[in-house]
Chains A and B, each alone.
Chain A
Amino acid sequence: MTRFSAWNVFRNGLSGQKGWDRQWRDVEPKADYDVVIVGGGIHGLATAYYLAKKHGLKNIAVLEKGWIGGGNAGRNTTIVRSNYFRPGNREFYEHSLKLWENLSHDLNYNVMFSQRGHVSLLHSPGAVDAAARGYNTLRLTGSDAEIWGLEELKQEIPHLNYAANARFPILGAAVQRRAGTARHDAVVWGYARAADQLGVDIIQNCEVLGVRRDQGRITGLDTSRGAIGGSKIGFSVAGNTSRLWDMAGLGTLPIESHKLQAFVTEPLKPLLDHVVVFGVGGTHFYISQSDKGGMVFGGDLDWYKSYAQRGNLPIVQDVSECALSILPCLGRVRLLRHWSGVCDMSMDGSHFICKTPLDNLYLNAGWNYGGFKAGPGAGWFFADLIANDRPHEIVAEHDLKRFERGYNIDERGAGPDPKLHG
C-alpha cells in the first residue's frame, strides 16, 4: 500500500499517477472469522480498525450489503460537534471529537476535518439562558464553548437575517469552535483503507440473509456470498437493526426506523464559514457550505416511519422556508439534489453500545440522526466492548435494559416517541 505523503503526491504527479495501489483488497469471504462486524459504514469500519489497531485482534471481517460509502455514510450533512449534555453522552461525544481532531494523521488519509465552528442561533431570552447552562456544562467538562452577542455574531456572519421584524429575531448564538464538518466519503474510505492494511477483510455486496443460532450463541451468518462463521458478531447497521434483530430471533427493540433528508444546492463562491443551526418553535435547520461550494443542509425527519431511502415534499418546503428565514440571500439558489437515509430512532434519542441476550453478539445501534459525528467514538467504544466483553464505563448505561431501569438518556426531553428525537 502506497502511503500518502507530500513526496508520493509529487512523485506520482511526475509519473502520470500510475504509482497508486487500490485502497483496499477485494477479498473472497473466508468460512470463519474471530470477529464479524455486520455493516460497513463509518461505525463498522471504525470498529474493525480499532479492534485491529488498539486491541491487536486478527482475523476480522466487515460485511457490507452494498458498497462502502453507499449507506448513511454517504447521506449525512457531515456535521461534527460534541455539545451533548447528558452524563455518558457528554464524555462519549467529547472523546469522539478528540478522535476526529487527529483522524487524518491516524488514518494517513485526509478526511478534510474542518473545525469551522458550530453556531446555534438564539431567539429568545429563555434560549440564551439555556445556552449559558450548556456553556457552563461544556466548559466544566473539558470542552470549549462560547456565547456570542449580536455584535460579535454580525461580525462573524454578516449576512444572516437580522431584521428587527423577523418572525424570530436573532439575539445571539451558542458556539462550539472545535466543531465543524468533514468529508463524509473520505471518512469511510480512510477507515476502510487503514483497516485493510491491518489485515481486516472488507467484503462488499454481502448482505446478511439469516442468522444461525445454537441456544444462546450465534454460530454463523447466511449471506448473499455464502455462510460466514464468527466467534464474535457485532451488529452495526443503522436503519436496519430491527431486521437483523428479528433474524436472530430476538424479538423487539426500543427502535423505530425513520428517514431523514439532506439537501445540496448548486456550488457557490465562499459564502458561509461556519455550521449554522436554526431551531426555534417547530423549526429545526442546519446548514454549512461544502468545499465544493454547495450549501449542504437538512431539517427534521419526515415524521412517519419508513425504510424507503427517499424523502417527501413537505420537508423540502419546510427546510426551504427555514433557509430563507435565516439566509434570505439564498432565495435564487437552485437545489441540486436531495436524498434520504434511514435512521435508527431510539425511544430516548440516545444510542446503544451493549451486550445482548446472546453470549457472542454485540450491538451498536440507535444513533438517531447523530451517527456521523459519533462514528470514530462509536468504533472506539464498540471495539472496546467486543475485545473486552464488557462495556466501558462511559457507555455502561447505554444498554437495552435502561428503559426497564427507568433510566432514559433523553437529550431533548421529548419522551418515548422516536420521531421527536433529533
Chain B
Amino acid sequence: MIRINCPYCGERDHSEFTYGGDGSVKYPALDASMEDWLQAVFQRENIRGVQTESWHHVNGCRMWLLVERDTMTHEIHSVRVAHPGLQQALEDPS
C-alpha cells in the first residue's frame, strides 16, 4: 500500500485516492495547433523514475494533489496541492 501524506488530512492509504495521471501534462490553449493537442492528449513520457502525477483525495478532502513519486520503487518524494493559490495559502497563511 502506498501512503500519501495529504496536506489537509495527513498520511492516508492510497486506496482513499484515485490516480489522475501524468501531472506534468499542460493542456494548451483551446485554439492551439493540432500537434500541440496531440502531444498533450495522446503522447506520454512514461518515465521510469521520479515523475509528477496528480492524485484526487476522493474519499477524503476531495482535493487534487500533485505527487512526485518514483514509478519503479513507489517512493514518494513530495506532495503538494494542485491548485497553486491553495498551495501558496498553505505555505503562507498570513
> A residues engaging B (CB < 8 A)?
240, 242-243, 251-257, 303-308, 312-314, 347, 403-404, 416-419
Contacts and interface: CB of A to CB of B under 8 A. Distances in A.
B41 interface: yes
A256 B1 CA distance: 21
Given A303-B18, A404-B34, 14 more contacts: A243-B48, A251-B43, A252-B46, A253-B43, A255-B44, A303-B19, A304-B2, A304-B14, A305-B22, A305-B51, A312-B2, A313-B1, A314-B15, A404-B38
A304 B72 CA distance: 12
B53 to A, nearest CB: 7
A91 B81 CA distance: 47
B71 A306 contact: yes
Interface residues on chain B, size class? 20 to 34
Nearest to B55: A304
A419 B1 contact: no
A256 B71 CA distance: 11
Contacts of B38: 403-404
B44 A256 contact: yes
A256 B15 CA distance: 21
B94 interface: no
A312 B46 contact: no
A33 B42 CA distance: 34
A417 B21 contact: yes
A241 B51 CA distance: 17
Contacts of A254: 42-44
Contact of B53 (A251, A252, A305, A307): A305
Nearest to A347: B42
A314 B1 CA distance: 8
29 contacts: A240-B48, A242-B44, A242-B45, A243-B48, A252-B39, A252-B44, A253-B43, A253-B46, A255-B46, A256-B44, A257-B71, A303-B18, A303-B19, A304-B2, A304-B14, A304-B53, A305-B22, A305-B71, A306-B74, A308-B71, A308-B73, A312-B1, A313-B1, A314-B1, A347-B41, A403-B42, A416-B41, A419-B19, A419-B21
A416 B71 contact: no
A304 B39 contact: no
Nearest to A242: B46
A305 to B, nearest CB: 5
Contacts of A255: 44, 46
Interface string B1-42: 110000000000011001101100000000000100011011
Nearest to A418: B44
A305 B51 CA distance: 10
A258 to B, nearest CB: 10
Contact of B19 (A305, A308, A403): A305
A419 B55 CA distance: 14
Interface in B56-75: 71-74
